[in-house]
Amino acid sequence: MEWHDDAIVLAARKHGESSAIVTLLTRDHGRHLGLVRGGMGRRKRGLFQPGNQVRATWRARLAEHLGSFACELENARAATLLDDRDRLSALSAACAVADAALPERETHAPVFEGMEILLDSMAGNLWPTIYVKWELGLLQELGFGLDFSCCAATGTTENLIYISPKSGRAVSAEAAEPYRKSLLPLPSFLLEAGIEGPPDGISDGLKLTGYFLERHVFSHTRSGMAPAARQRLIDQLRKK
Amino acid sequence: MMAPEIERLINLLAKLPGLGPRSARRAVLALIRRRETLLAPLAKAMGEAAEAVRTCTNCGNIDGRDPCAICADVRRDASVICVVEDVADLWALERTHAFKGRYHVLGGTLSALDGIGPDDLRLPALVGRVANASATEIILALSATVDGQTTAHYIADKLAGSKVKISGLAHGIPVGGELDYLDDGTLSAALKARRTIDNESPVDSPADNLVENT
């Protein structure tokens, strides 16, 4: 068995003395693990930093084997973000969220492509907006997409400012009045493309995606909770 | 057939880093052949080390006494504290003879993968040292990895209220390194942290504010 694919490094765990079990988010093969001999050695350690883009070759005798990766660095994203605490937090959070949320060996090309866009956007200032949208896309890809098309109660498409935590559907300001306290705020930048989210909106957006990720995805993982890196990103953005 | 004592020794040695069962067998054979000159002194030294070695309650270093020799040395500059991930990093810095301040061993870095959070590191002890001691500079000598630098930024945030200067190690070209053989990440980090040659002071670039927090 052998395949070649574009991939983003999500994590690398030490195995033995210098080898590593590397988790990659690949375009066509989803989240995939593999052994890299010498992956934690001096020469290869820098290659397997979260966020780095690689061209991966996976080989195994049988498809169900762990197999081994041979990777060539295509874009050393991690190194360019080490100095920036906000962007580094976002990079760590995105990799940790993808690692925790995605099932193994299930193709989710939109998540990969979204992550590419997110990591590329870190060269500019739009990345918090794109991060929230990437998490929304992740929810959708996993089958828990939120519905912003119309109000769940009245069907109107105007003045949608809340989300029902029960159904994941938008609720208009008028229909929300009696239940306002139990609804989640829907930031307006999520309703339109190409709009940069204000700091409050980003915070609301992360609260929104965090609620549904916790409920539908992380509660079913081994730890039962969101990765700590995600909370650190929220804390980091809150300080601004 | 091997004596159970020898087999036990091989099994124990095989657990050490760098050794497997085969190399452990060779090491045991060499020890037995030099019983008087090597095996007995080694056993004695290991017994003494097991008895005497302890962790310094001040900095987290391992030494034969508490506080450790570095913390107890009055000639060392107590106003500069170098934060390292592990004792191995402390030893590496000590080998350079370039640093004459004191250390603080964190015991790891924040890691999403391994579930290591701030509570698992010796961070409260560091904050306490900064608050109590007359420290003027904290050098964050942590790995140039995502986890290492996430930890560095986290510590810089934690110490933001104090008046100490917080600095980080430079990232770039190693001594003897040729550009053609360096990875892209190191090269871009080196370019970001470039310095002027004539007066050897760093040029103004965003990278200069790495963990500066004064």
> What average pLDDT is seen over chain B?
88
Nearest CA in chain B to A230: B112
At B210, the pLDDT band (50, 70, 90 cuts) reads very low
- Burial of B183 from C-beta contacts in 10 A (0-12 / 13-18 / 19+): middle
* pLDDT for B71: 94
Interface predicted TM-score (ipTM):
0.84
Q: Residue A38 pLDDT > 50, yes or no? A: yes
Out of B113, B145, B153, name the one closest to residue A85 (CB): B153
Nearest CA in chain B to A50: B146
A17, A9 Cβ separation under 8 angstroms:
no
Residue B96: partners with Cβ closer than 8 Å, 6 or more residues away: none
- Tell me which of B16, B113, B210 to substitute to probe the interface with A (most A C-beta atoms closer than 10 Å): B113
Each domain of chain B, given as residue ranges in start order, spans: 4-48, 76-213
Options 3.40.250.10, 3.40.50.2300, 1.10.8.420, 2.40.10.10; CATH for B4-48 is: 1.10.8.420
A68–B contact, CB cutoff 8 A: no
Class of domain A1-77: mainly beta
Do you find a cis peptide bond into B124, omega within 30 degrees of 0? no
Mean pLDDT score, B93-108? 94
Higher pLDDT, B155 or B172: B155
First to last CA, chain A: 49
Pairwise CA distance, residues B70 & B100, whole Å: 9
* pLDDT for B211: 45
Q: What's the pLDDT tens digit per position in B10-20?
A: 999 999 988 99
CATH 2.40.50.140 domain residues, chain A: 1-77
Interface contacts A/B by beta carbons within 8 Å: 85
Q: Classify B137 as helix, strand or coil.
A: strand
Pairwise CA distance, residues A9 & A56, whole Å: 10
Q: What is the CATH number of domain B76-213?
A: 3.40.1360.10
Q: What's the pLDDT tens digit per position in B29-38?
A: 999 999 999 9
Q: Classify B24 as helix, strand or coil.
A: helix
Query: H or E segment at A229?
Result: helix A228-238
